[in-house]
Amino acid sequence: MESLVAWYQSTMGDFVPKEVFVFFVSMLPLIELRGGIVIASLLKIPLLKANIICIIGNVLPIPFVLLFIKRIFKFMKDHNIFKGLVEKLEQRAEKKSSGAEKGEFAFLLAFVGIPLPGTGAWTGSLIASLLEFDIKKASIAILLGVITAAVIMDIVSYGALGMLLG
């Protein structure tokens, strides 16, 4: 993340406010809020402000993923556009979702909330969409998962635990 911050500072730092940069980083698949919080801490954005920016940035694309990803994937496979990548993403989502149908809400909340590689709001939304989970329940579970991930990343990135105890 430090190299991403260095790149931002050397290329866009004079033109793009650091909050806007963190917002867009939080929207990106794979990086998401987890990376956004780390970058916000490195850029010295206050904790509360960073959380608001990163949570909104991470959650904003999720309804679009839930509503449209199956159609987009079908179009891409039908027209042989990144067909291999789409199939790989579908297989990954299927593999990571084993056993999710029974406790879909708790599964999605934990899957999105525990910041491990390959988890997060984007993958959680992909799983929910491909397995046809109820969109309202999935949205709430994903939002709560993002908030949970924010708290965990706050503790790691900002030393919030030390601030609470000290």
- Mean per-residue pLDDT of the chain: 89
pLDDT number for residue 166: 47
Torsion of CA 135, 141, 147, 150, to 10 degrees: -100
pLDDT number for residue 43: 95
Q: What is the DSSP string of 31-92?
A: THHHHHHHHHHHTT--HHHHHHHHHHHHHTTHHHHHHHHHHHHHHHHHTTSSHHHHHHHHHH
Question: Cβ atoms within 10 A of the Cβ of 60, count?
Answer: 13
- Above 70 in pLDDT, residue 78? yes
pLDDT number for residue 91: 83
pLDDT number for residue 132: 86
- Above 50 in pLDDT, residue 102? yes
pLDDT number for residue 161: 56
pLDDT number for residue 98: 66
pLDDT number for residue 160: 63
- Above 70 in pLDDT, residue 63? yes
- Above 70 in pLDDT, residue 164? no
Torsion of CA 87, 89, 90, 92, to 10 degrees: 120
- Above 90 in pLDDT, residue 108? yes
- Above 70 in pLDDT, residue 99? no
| Residue-wise pLDDT tens digits, 20-59 | 999 999 999 989 999 999 999 999 999 999 999 999 999 9
| pTM score | 0.85
> How is the chain split into domains, by residue range?
2-59, 62-152
Distance CA(160)–CA(118), nearest Å, equals 25
pLDDT number for residue 37: 95
Distance CA(108)–CA(137), nearest Å, equals 9
* Mean pLDDT confidence for 84-95: 82
Of 97, 106, 84, the C-alpha closest to 131 is 97
**Alpha helices, DSSP H, located in 79-159:** 83-96, 104-113, 121-130, 135-158
